[in-house]
Amino acid sequence: MHARRALSLAATYAVLLIAVLLTLAPFALSVITALKTPRQFVQDGPLALPSPLTLENFTSLFTTSEGGFVTPLVVTVQMVAVILVGQMVFSVLAAYAFALLRFPGRDLLFWVYVATLMVPQVVVVVPLYLMMSEAGMRNTFWALVLPFVLGSPYAIFLLRENFRGMSTELMDAMRLDGAGTLRLLWNLVIPLNRPIIVTLVLITVVTHWNSFMWPLIITSGPTWQTVTVATSALQSQYSSNWTLVMAATTLAMLPLIALFVIFQRQITRSIGASTLR
């Protein structure tokens, strides 16, 4: 029995190790390539370790004519920040209304709105593009953020389910003390649901930081270029210089990795809370 259990554990860990290697290998290859010179990459191949390490590719992104990576970074940070604030504010308010307020057609409206999750994004790209063009907002910052700033069906669904599981006694007690809806949200609902809100913040940041198709379609030129579009343009323009392309890719990954490391405890708590519910 002990031998069978040990063999089962060994097989499980072997499968997990293979999965980890397959998941992390592209990221490791990106970092290794970014730390090489173009000459070393050509001579030693992509799998060789950088010797010596160099930051030339990262500095080239910002200091040479091949770079111009500052503007895409600034545009992406601004875009993600505006979308994040808008989605969190409107998603929390909508989820509170759908979970705890009573009004005619509440459940029907909620499920119709959530059903939009099943519509592929590519289906709505053309109507959105025509709307933005007719409004004169093509190739502007507002065209990047307006289609996504007024809440997210996924966030509203997840928050509604968590809000419905809250204790009504605490809310009734605060209402007896004279608390209004906004005070109830700020002092009770949001603190009690902080782990799931932090998880939604990370999901929103990752989703829109990595957004490619919509920024590519609605913008043109370098003025409102995002990180993903700038990296794609760099790859097509300098396809032979893979070290520069991998430096841009690595740079685009760093903020997301930092966010995950900082908030990983909140993510774990939200998963545990969802499991207990």
DSSP string, 8-29: HHHHHHHHHHHHHHHHHHHHHH
For residue 87, name the pLDDT band (cuts at 50, 70, 90): very high
φ, ψ dihedrals at 46, nearest 5°? -75, -25
- Residues comprising the chain, all counted: 277
Compute the C-alpha angle 83/267/85, nearest 5°: 15
d(CA 197, CA 202): 9
Q: What is the pLDDT at residue 108?
A: 92
The residue assigned the tokens 């097989």 is 11
Neighbours of 177 (CB within 10 A): 8
Note the pLDDT tens digit of each residue in 250-273: 988 888 888 888 877 766 766 655
Instruction: Identify the pLDDT of residue 236.
Output: 64
Q: What is the pLDDT at residue 1?
A: 65
Distance CA 11, CA 158 (A): 35
Distance in angstroms (rounded) separating the CA atoms of residues 82 and 146:
9
| Confidence (pLDDT) at 78 | 94
Contacts of 37 (CB under 8 A, 6+ apart): 54, 56, 243
- Find the mean pLDDT for residues 86-113: 90
3-class secondary-structure state, position 65: coil
Lowest-confidence range among 40-44, 232-236, 260-264?
A: 232-236
Rounded to whole angstroms, the Cα distance separating 193 from 161 reads: 11
Residue 192 has pLDDT above 80, yes or no: yes
Helix axes 227-237, 242-276, angle to 10 degrees: 150
35 CB-side CA count, 13 A: 13
Spatial separation of the C-alpha atoms in residues 206 and 24, rounded to whole Å: 17
- How large a percentage of the chain has pLDDT more than 70? 92
| Mean of all residue pLDDT scores within the chain | 85
- In this predicted structure, the answer to whether residue 4 has a pLDDT above a threshold of 50 is yes
Q: Are 252 and 227 in contact (CB under 8 A)?
A: yes
Between 235 and 175, whose confidence is greater? Answer: 175
Q: What is the pLDDT of residue 179?
A: 76
Query: Using omega within 30 degrees of 0 as the cis cutoff, is the peptide bond preceding 52 cis?
Result: yes
pLDDT reported for residue 275:
46
Q: Tokens 């001579």 map to which residue? A: 43
Residue ranges of the alpha helices (H) in 35-105? 38-44, 56-63, 70-100
Each as own residue / partner, the long-range contacts of residues 109-115 (CB below 8 Å, 24 or more positions apart, any chain) are 110/156, 110/160, 113/153, 113/156, 114/153, 114/156, 114/157
The whole-model pTM stands at 0.84
Q: Is pLDDT above 80 for 150? A: yes
**Percent residues over pLDDT 90 in the chain:** 28
